[in-house]
Amino acid sequence: MKKKLLATTTTLLASAMLSASVFALTDPPVDPVDPVDPTDPPSSDNVRGPDPTESALESTRGGPYSVRTQNVSSLSARGFGGGTIHYPTNAGTNMGAIAVVPGFVSYENSIEWWGSRLASWGFVVITIDTNTTVDQPDSRADQLSAALDLLVSESNSGSSAISGLVDPSRLGAIGWSMGGGGSLKLATERNLKAIIPQAPWYTGSSTFRRLTTPTMIIACEADVVAPVGQHASPFYNAIPDSTPKAFLEINGGSHFCANSGYSDEDLLGKYGIAWMKRFMDDDTRYSQFLCGPNHESNRNISEYRDTCNY
C-alpha cells in the first residue's frame, strides 16, 4: 500500500519522539504458520525448515518457528544503546545471527518488526537502540558490530537464553536510513554473510566498490530524505556485479517505507527472509523468490534489479 510522503526532518523527529516504549521484556511466543519438528534433520548443517512457499513468506504471522524475546538494557549493552533479542525456541542450534539498527532520530521500535519475523524463520536477531539518536552512519556500523558481538558472547554463555544458538561464522546486518548506511559501512570492515540496507543514507568516504557481502538494497521511490538517485541507486551501482546483489524499490514509498507502521510487511518479509536464508544459510530453495519472473509485475514494486542467478 502506498504511504503518504513525510518530507521534513521535523516530521521525522516528531514521529520518532511519539513512538512507544522500545523495550519489551518477554513477549509470548509467535504462533507458527506450520509447526516444525526440530528433530527433523536438515539437508545440510545450515539448511533448516520446510520447503518455503510465497504465502508462508508473506504471512505476517511469521514462519515455522516459535519466538521468544530477551531484553538487553542500555546499562548492560556495551557499545550500543540496548535492545531486544528475538530467538526461535524450536529451530535447533548454530543459527545465523542478525543485528538491526534504526536511523537518525529514530528508535528501536521503528525497525523492531524485523526481529520476530526473521527469528520465526530460524535466525537469532537483535534489534537495537543507538547510543544517541543523532549518531552518524559510521557510529551505527560500530554499534551493529557491538550488537553482533553480544549475540556471539551470549551464545557462548552457558547461562544465557540463547546459549549455543548462534553460529559466529554466519552474521548479518539490517539498517534503515543512516542505519542502512551503517550496514553498508560495516560490510566493508567485517566479514558478514548478508546485509539489507533500507532507504540507506551515507555521505562519508566509502569503499562500496570493494564490497563482497551479498547485499539487498531496499529503496523508497519518493524518498526526499535519502533520495534514491543520490543514495540507494549509486550505492547499488558501486557494488561489483561479481557480488550477489539486488535492488528493490517500493512504489511511491516515502523514506519510511520499510518501517514499522508504514511497511508493506508481506512484501518486505518475503524478500528480506528469502535474502537472508539464501545467503546466510546458503539455502538455494529461496533463490526462486529472488530470481526469475518480472518482479515489477507486483504493483508495489516500482523497480527491481539483480545479479541472478544465485
Catalytic residues: 177, 223, 255
* 282, HSE (Cβ side, Cα atoms, 13 Å): 9
Give the three cell numbers for residue 87. Answer: 530467538
Amino acid occupying residue 122: G
Contacts of 43 (CB under 8 A, 6+ apart): none
The helix (H) or strand (E) run that includes residue 152 is helix 137-155
Is the CA virtual torsion 44, 50, 54, 58 positive or negative? negative
**Phi, psi angle pair for 202, to nearest 5°:** -160, 130
The answer, yes or no, to whether the previous bond of 309 is cis (omega within 30 of 0) is yes
- How far is C-alpha 147 from the chain's CA centre? 13
Q: Three-state DSSP class for 162? A: coil
